[in-house]
Structure 1
Amino acid sequence: MKMKTNTTPPGSRSRLWMAVPAIAFGGIGIELLLMSAGFPYAALAGIAGCVIASFILFYQAYLKPRRDIVSLFVPLYAVLIFIVPNDISSGVIVQAFYAATITLLAVRLEKLFNAPKQEKKTMKQMLNEYIARIEPFLAPIDEETGHLVAQALLTYKFELYGNAAGKIAEALARLDTIAPHPGTLERALLILRERAGGFAESRVITSPEHTFMKEDYDALAIRLRPDQIESPAALDLDNALILLYAVGIETSPDDEQALEEHQRFIVQILESYKNKLTA
């Protein structure tokens, strides 16, 4: 799954498009002058102007970050109309109509296809960007605490809820030795412990005691508007799992490989919010 974020550089803002009507109508003008002088092959000037202008339009379209299929195929139309033998007249009227058409295409291309193209970002990229964003938050967390956090997350993932609660208790005790006190991480562990305890006792927690607070917002991966939140408890749990993953993989080298093997679990959480994150 993907979401929109990055953009490619915008297309050229040059006046290349002006060459299309200039050459197309310029060729027709030269044709009319040659016809008035009695030149037998005067029509070639108008035809050449239309064909050359078509290739310029193609080049203009090729340079844009967003591609216009119609403009890219214009040279083919020019060849079929003016060069390949057919029943279509290649006289001044047809040339003028064709020149007007590609002029409109050139203007349309410049106005509608010059905007930056939005690229897609995978949820894995979003996860990596989130981890980079909270790097200052991760800095005070030592390796031992990170290991306990990673083990708490992994045992929860393996549905060993009793063991997960024990690891969480150890991690919470370690947090008391860290300054400044990582309150957001503490709340993430408490949220997970409460949920693990519920699963261990086969009970459903509808009104959790522990939740994230307003000051935690910047350290969370999934940040939604109030009207987008269907279940605050589910959102808190998902944010807690992602935060614990980020802490473990960044601060506990011993658990890095194990966490990477279960990265898909975290990515799937992000994917479940894809539509809301891209709204």
Structure 2
Amino acid sequence: MTGQTRTSYSREEIVLSIAIPMFCFGGTALGILLEDLGYIEDAGLFFWGCLVGAFLLAYLAWGKPRKDIVSLLAPMYAFIIFFATWEMKPTVILQLLFGISLTVLVVRLNRRFSTPPVKEQEEDPMEKYLYDYLHRITPFFRGIDRETAHSIASVVLSYKFELYPKVVASAGTAISRLSGEGAIAVARKAVTIIRDRAVKLDQSDVKAYSALAFGPGEEQYLAIIIPADQIMNRDDYVLDNAIVLAYGIAYLCSPDDGQMLDEHQNFIIQILSSYKEQMGR
């Protein structure tokens, strides 16, 4: 679960947030008191607390990292309501409604405009390519059961963390359960390619790779398809396709590993990005 960022307020913001409703409602209460004592004739015309509250709200809004046009124009609204509306005489009820409105704006201002504007990041084209690829291979591998897919997820994640003995163990489990032809045979081959590389790396043989490779008829299952003359290292090319395919199968068929696979998706994005130019992305 992702925790929400708690916004902290300055002392000035807290004081202003309290002062605005206090001036509005306090001014109205003072007007009623002065009318009862006979100092003024009509408490409805004693709207100065609302005016002060409107200017304080505008000042509070001006200091926020994001500007709220409604709060900034509060003094103008106050002038229109209390001075320019000739057909309606200001009343105590009007002051109370205005005070409630300013209080709502204070809450809105503090909750929505206290954080800097967030620039929307453009979607990584290779991330989109990965999702398109997952959508493309879904019909081929939807029949793989969760237990097998979990073992495949373990192969990919263990390889990412260089836990090569665990890669070999998980691959053995997955391979034994991947019985079939067509897409299942390609999945079995992908896991085997990763396992073979892990065996060599565990033996500190960094130059050795699996003897297996994907054939032309298996390209429909692969994410990275580039012309043969643009393949810089064929062994890495085969291994990278195997890793991305295994990741895709695990992502589609092992919901229990979904969060972990999401967290380490950048591992796959980096692989795809290394072929970005050759794929014309």
Question: How far off its partner does 1:124 sit?
Answer: 0.4
Q: How far is 1:137 from its partner?
A: 1.1
Q: Which residue of 2 aligns with 1:231?
A: 233
Who is 1:159 aligned against? 162
Contact kept? 1:175, 1:181, Cα under 8 Å: no
TM-score (norm 2): 0.54
Question: Relative CO higher for 1 or 2, CA cutoff 8 Å, sep ≥ 6?
Answer: 1
| Percent of aligned positions that are identical | 38
Q: Paired residue for 1:208?
A: 210
Note if 1:139 corresponds to 2:124: no
Q: Match of 1:255?
A: 257
Distance 1:120 1:276, change over 3 A: farther
What is the rounded CA distance, in whole Å, between the counterparts of 2:129 and 2:209 in structure 1? 30
Deviations 1:66-94 (A, max 9, x none): xxxxxxxxxxxxxxxxxxxxxxxxxxxxx
Distance 2:168 2:193 in 1: 11
Structure 2 matches for 1:35-50, cutoff 5 A? Answer: none
In 2: Cα distance, 1:239 partner to 1:197 partner: 18
Q: Cα deviation per residue 1:216-249 (whole Å; 9 max; x = unaligned)?
A: 1111000011111111110011111111111111
Counterpart CA distance in 2 for 1:251 and 1:136 is: 11
Are the counterparts in 1 of residues 200 and 208 from structure 2 also a CA contact under 8 Å?
no
For residues 106-164 of structure 1, the C-alpha deviation after alignment (integer angstroms, 9 at most, x for no partner) is xxxxxxxxxxxxx9861100000000011111122111111110011111111110111
Q: How many corresponding residue pairs? A: 160
Note if contact 1:140-1:179 (Cα within 8 Å) is conserved in structure 2.
Answer: no
Give the partner amino acid of 1:161: Y
Pairwise CA RMSD of aligned residues?
1.9
2:248: which partner in 1?
Answer: 246
| CA deviation vs aligned residue, 1:192-231 (integer Å, no higher than 9, x gap) | 0111001100013446311112221111000011111111
Query: TM-score when scaled to structure 1?
Result: 0.54
Q: Distance in 1 between matches of 2:205 and 2:261?
A: 28
Matches within 5 A, 1:1-279: 122-176=125-179, 182-206=184-208, 208-278=210-280
* Cα distance change, pair 238–207 in 1 and its aligned pair in 2 (3 A): closer
- Unaligned runs of at least 5 residues, structure 2: 1-121
Return the letter of the residue paired with 1:173: S
CA contact 1:194–1:210 (8 Å) conserved in 2: no
